[in-house]
Amino acid sequence: MIKLFQFAPAFGLPNASPFCMKLETYLRMAGLPFQLVNSGDVFKAPKRKLPYIDDGGTVVADSGFIIDYLKGRYGDPLDDALSPLQRALATAFQRLFEEDLYWAVVQTRWAEDAGWAKTRQAFFAAMPLPLRWFVPVLARRGLLAEMRGHGMGRHTAGEIHAIGCRDVTAIADFLGDKPFMLGEQPTSLDACAHAFLANLLWAPVASPIQRHAQARPALEAYCQRMKARYFS
């Protein structure tokens, strides 16, 4: 059976890491049996990040590479029927979620003090002493350095909020009144979209980006639909 190594649930979500939640959602959508292993020890993880899987001794890291591996090993029931245009749109929106909106949410959770207080509690409160004293500080420093290297961290908080709101508008406009991101049937893009949108809408970290998303009822309805279908 596939073992999925990820952070423990937090914020009332299956996972406060959108990448971990994306992979768990995909496994549920694809109907693949798996065992959850809640472990926040990134130092034991390949590439020193979560999630990763162990599939009968085959260890794969990074949610995107893991999904590619699972499609190759077990088939691709979610995306087999997609047209080239749909595949292009899925790739573009995945990049929007993972390479743009993600860093805007990192700003609100990790850079801003109010969000950091809740993030620290969610991710590190169960960590034993003395690790709980210094690991959160190192993790925050490292992630914010990554954000600056990415380029997002070079902007002001207000500019980052504006970028995140612009992303949310694009997502909501594209979703429209469709039940799923690409139409009537769910695809692997929905695993990504649900994970990132649920983390934005439902995590108790208030921000201008969250308020902008909450003002768009279609996004809330979409996440509730995904939750009822795959997490009930």
Total number of domains in the chain: 2
Report yes or no on 79 lying in a domain: no
Prediction pTM value = 0.95
Residue type, 156: T
Structure tokens at 1: 């059976």
Q: What is the pLDDT of residues 4-60, one digit of tens each?
A: 999 999 999 999 999 999 999 999 999 999 999 997 777 788 998 999 999 999 999
The answer to whether residue 10 sits within a structural domain is: yes
Counting beta carbons within 10 angstroms of the beta carbon of residue 118, is it exposed (0 to 12), middle (13 to 18) or buried (19 or more)? Answer: middle
Cα angle vertex 203, ends 6, 198, to 5°? 75
From 38, 18, 10, select the one nearest 204 (Cα to Cα). 10
Q: Are residues 68 and 115 in the same domain?
A: no
Shared domain check, 167 and 91 = yes
Q: Whose structure tokens read 């909020």?
A: 161
Q: Are residues 181 and 105 in the same domain?
A: yes
Q: What is the full per-residue pLDDT of the chain (232 aa) written as tens digits?
A: 999 999 999 999 999 999 999 999 999 999 999 999 997 777 788 998 999 999 999 999 999 999 999 999 999 999 999 999 999 999 999 999 999 999 999 999 999 999 999 999 888 877 778 888 888 899 999 999 999 999 999 999 999 999 999 999 999 999 999 999 999 999 999 999 999 999 999 999 999 999 999 999 999 999 999 999 999 9
Give the strand pairing for 2-6 and 58-61.
Answer: unpaired
CATH of the domain at 69: 3.40.30.10
99, 211: one domain = yes
Rounded CA gap, 137 and 30, in Å? 37
4, 78, 145, 230 from 55: Cα distances, Å: 9, 20, 33, 22
Q: Do 123 and 225 share a domain, yes or no? A: yes
Residue 15 belongs to domain spanning: 2-74
Among 56, 74, 92, where does a domain finish? 74
Judgement on whether residues 195 and 145 belong to the same structural domain of the protein: yes
Q: Which two tokens stand for residue 130?
A: 């003395």
Non-local CB neighbours of 109 within 8 Å, separated by 6+ positions? 115, 116, 118, 119, 203, 205
Q: Are residues 130 and 168 in the same domain?
A: yes
Is the domain of 45 the same as that of 127?
A: no
